[in-house]
């Protein structure tokens, strides 16, 4: 077995230093089947009864690997973070997901809406679905320091204004364009507002977004950091944010909501997918119609009326502790594992 670790180290070393992309892809692809082989040996040696899969890397290979585990008596649980593809919905993508959903023993979803998506689009029986929300990010964030220099730079530019933030990978379904379109409406309702946008562009050219931002508001009213955001910088941005906006046009859930709540940040979400389940309208933030910039501006104005902001912030922290507590989530997950092992 010593040959396998040697290969892994060589593959990862080559992946770091080899610039020729096809060769790097080949090394990663060659490593993955060996990873699965090592995992299979480990599972069989330790007589593991339940295997929980969080992501599918190679659909065809993974589905057959899961079938193999079941042949050896393992129960397979899969967490469907997004039951349906967010952008591409080609037939082959749907077929790949359908194959996975049929092959596993049980599926965990993060919202009730996601569970309904499975039942409607893939004919998955409700008995095969359990809703367990995503927990907060406190344990992850505790391992990283906060980029205080970045936080101070944002505060300096904002100069005491209210910071309205959009965070995360920028993809079409997240509706950033509607937030940008709302800038002048928000400034009219909240003259002391300041906009923060941080995240990498996954689909489409970065320069198009930068042009759009340049025409939407004054440079003095905007902090745009269009790149992959490391955890240290994410912590910095959360530390200065007053309200997080999620103008999504399509979503089954949002990890950003949980992240914001733990920091006491109210969230404005659109009424799409499972987002409405995660936002308590008028308590932890506001739910607005999708593709509606005026509604976004109105919701932001509500956040800062009288003492409302402090109430929203307090409620957000409460929900993070009560609903998105990892101890409770672990208990629910362990109960599911126990249930599956008791099935003959």
Query: pLDDT, tens digit, for every residue of 100-126?
Result: 999 999 999 999 999 999 999 999 999
Whether 5 shows a pLDDT value over 70: the answer reads no
Q: What is the CATH number of the domain that holds 340?
A: 3.40.50.2000
Whether 226 shows a pLDDT value over 80: the answer reads yes
Taking the C-alpha atoms of residue 335 and residue 342, their distance in angstroms, rounded to an integer, is 11
**pLDDT tier, 17 (very low <50, low <70, confident <90, very high otherwise):** low
**pLDDT tier, 13 (very low <50, low <70, confident <90, very high otherwise):** low
Say if residue 75 is in the same domain as residue 32. no
Q: How far is CA 103 from CA 70, 71, 98, in A?
A: 9, 12, 9
Say if residue 202 is in the same domain as residue 300. yes
Say if residue 190 is in the same domain as residue 300. yes
Say if residue 98 is in the same domain as residue 209. no
Domain span at residue 65?
A: 48-135+325-344
Taking the C-alpha atoms of residue 6 and residue 45, their distance in angstroms, rounded to an integer, is 21
pLDDT value of residue 1: 43
pLDDT value of residue 285: 98
pLDDT value of residue 31: 79
* Domain count along the chain: 3
Say if residue 78 is in the same domain as residue 204. no
Say if residue 196 is in the same domain as residue 246. yes
Say if residue 73 is in the same domain as residue 222. no
Structure tokens at 168: 């995360």
Taking the C-alpha atoms of residue 121 and residue 101, their distance in angstroms, rounded to an integer, is 11
Taking the C-alpha atoms of residue 165 and residue 3, their distance in angstroms, rounded to an integer, is 49
Say if residue 126 is in the same domain as residue 184. no
Say if residue 222 is in the same domain as residue 103. no
Digit-coded pLDDT (tens) for 246-279: 999 999 999 999 999 999 999 999 999 999 999 9
Say if residue 20 is in the same domain as residue 78. no
Strands laid side by side in the 193-198 sheet:
222-225, 193-198, 162-167, 243-246, 267-270, 285-288
- Alpha-helix residue ranges (DSSP H) falling in 58-164: 59-71, 91-103, 112-122, 138-141, 148-158
Taking the C-alpha atoms of residue 316 and residue 244, their distance in angstroms, rounded to an integer, is 12
Strand partners, 291: none
| Rg of the chain taking only CA atoms, in angstroms | 22
Say if residue 98 is in the same domain as residue 187. no
Whether 344 shows a pLDDT value over 70: the answer reads no
Digit-coded pLDDT (tens) for 143-201: 999 999 999 999 999 999 999 999 999 999 999 999 999 999 999 999 999 999 999 99
Structure tokens at 55: 């992501």
Say if residue 165 is in the same domain as residue 287. yes
**pLDDT tier, 2 (very low <50, low <70, confident <90, very high otherwise):** very low
- Cβ atoms of 237 and 74 closer than 8 Å: no
pLDDT value of residue 171: 92
Structure tokens at 83: 């039951």
- Cβ atoms of 190 and 162 closer than 8 Å: yes
Strands laid side by side in the 75-79 sheet:
50-53, 75-79, 106-109, 129-131
- Residue of 25, 31, 24 whose CA lies nearest to 8: 31
Q: How far is CA 21 from CA 28, 30, 200, in A?
A: 11, 14, 21
């Amino acid at each position: 077995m010593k040959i396998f670790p040697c290969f892994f180290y060589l593959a990862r070393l080559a992946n770091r230093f080899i610039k020729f992309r096809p060769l790097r892809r080949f090394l990663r692809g060659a490593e993955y089947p060996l990873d699965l082989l090592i995992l299979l040996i480990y599972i069989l040696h330790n007589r593991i009864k339940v295997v929980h899969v969080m992501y599918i890397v190679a659909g065809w290979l993974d589905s057959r690997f899961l079938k193999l585990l079941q042949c050896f008596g393992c129960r397979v649980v899969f967490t469907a973070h997004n039951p349906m593809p967010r952008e591409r919905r080609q037939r082959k993508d749907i077929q790949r997901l359908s194959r996975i959903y049929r092959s596993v023993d049980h599926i965990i979803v993060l919202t009730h809406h996601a569970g309904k998506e499975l039942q409607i689009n893939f004919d998955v029986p409700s008995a095969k679905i359990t809703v367990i929300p995503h927990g907060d990010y406190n344990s992850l964030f505790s391992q990283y320091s906060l980029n205080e220099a970045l936080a101070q730079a944002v505060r300096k530019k904002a100069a005491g204004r209210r910071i309205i933030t959009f965070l995360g990978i920028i993809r079409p379904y997240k509706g950033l364009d509607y937030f940008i379109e709302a800038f002048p409406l928000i400034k009219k309702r909240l003259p002391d507002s300041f906009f923060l946008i941080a995240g990498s562009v996954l689909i489409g050219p970065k320069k198009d977004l930068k042009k759009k931002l340049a025409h939407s508001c004054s440079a003095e009213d905007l902090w745009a950091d269009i790149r992959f955001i490391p955890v240290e910088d994410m912590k910095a941005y959360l530390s200065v944010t007053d309200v997080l906006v999620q103008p999504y046009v399509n979503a089954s859930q949002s990890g950003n909501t949980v992240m914001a709540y733990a920091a006491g940040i109210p969230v404005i979400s659109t009424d799409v997918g499972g987002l409405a389940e995660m936002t308590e309208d008028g308590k932890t933030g506001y739910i607005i119609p999708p593709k509606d910039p005026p509604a976004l501006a109105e919701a932001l104005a509500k956040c800062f009326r009288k003492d409302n902001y402090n109430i929203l912030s307090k409620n957000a922290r409460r929900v993070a502790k009560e609903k998105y507590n990892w101890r409770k989530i672990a208990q629910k997950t362990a109960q599911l594992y126990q249930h599956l092992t008791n099935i003959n």
